[in-house]
Amino acid sequence: MSDNLRLHGFNNLTSSLSFNIYDICYAKTEEQRAAYIDYIDELYNAERLTQILKDVTNIIGAHVLNIARQDYEPHGASVTILIAEHELDESNPEQTEPGPGPLPETVVAHLDKSHVTVHSYPESHPDNGISTFRLDIDVSTCGHISPLKALNYLIHSFDSDIVTMDYRVRGFTRDVDGKKLFIDHDITSIQDYLAEDTKHAYQMIDVNVYQENMFHTKMLLKDFELDNYLFGTSRRDITFEEARDIESRLRKEMLEIFYSRNLD
């Protein structure tokens, strides 16, 4: 927020970041697909997801009020953390500017009954061997601090083939003269707040609605090494023709998710 901007009362703006990752793999047999789902369930169980959200809370400087978490049957997990405000040092720009955030450090921020949530969605296809894991994280904050502070930490916490992010600022606050402010910081794209290594690793596209303070960025991993996508086997154990077919299926799955439509 600009140094010469003075608000009347509390900053009532709400900033929300929705962060979705997708992990794709090929598991040929029913046993391999079941093992992949078990692996994902163990890797991203409620305990580990709770720790990730605690780290996010620490980065944006919040105070944990309540944690609710649940592992589901047959698979999947959810965690919700209710967080409360700390006092804000307005003389420190690291606390008042929206980003980019640390990876990770403690940032003291101003929050009021905000929340962070995470849900996991593992699934597999019985016919073509493709298994997909999706993780949804939402960070909602009020006041000067932005959830964009947690963005780089979240991206570096997962090995993601596809990432989709939505950022929106809602509501309004007023300056001392009574003028409404519908956003309190400059932003042209979520990409403005990404680390350089992330920008180099992913292909990105934006769909932004500036007049509504809505920003959407999609990222697709550039590098493709087949061995990184085979679960329960390796490239040397399959024929060239089989490897080419599997790669085609994987790329099709990734492009369909990236572009949000089915492809022929």
Beta strands 202-206 and 180-181: pairing type?
A: unpaired
Per the residue annotation, which of 75, 110, 115, 119 is the catalytic one? 119
- Of the candidates 64, 167, 50, the one whose C-alpha atom is nearest the C-alpha of residue 120 is 50
As a whole number of angstroms, the distance between CA 186 and CA 215 comes to 12
Q: Is 131 a catalytic residue?
A: no
Per the residue annotation, which of 15, 114, 120, 124 is the catalytic one? 114
Q: Is 115 a catalytic residue?
A: no
Q: Is 119 a catalytic residue?
A: yes
Per the residue annotation, which of 142, 144, 146, 160 is the catalytic one? 142
- Catalogue the active-site residues: 114, 119, 142
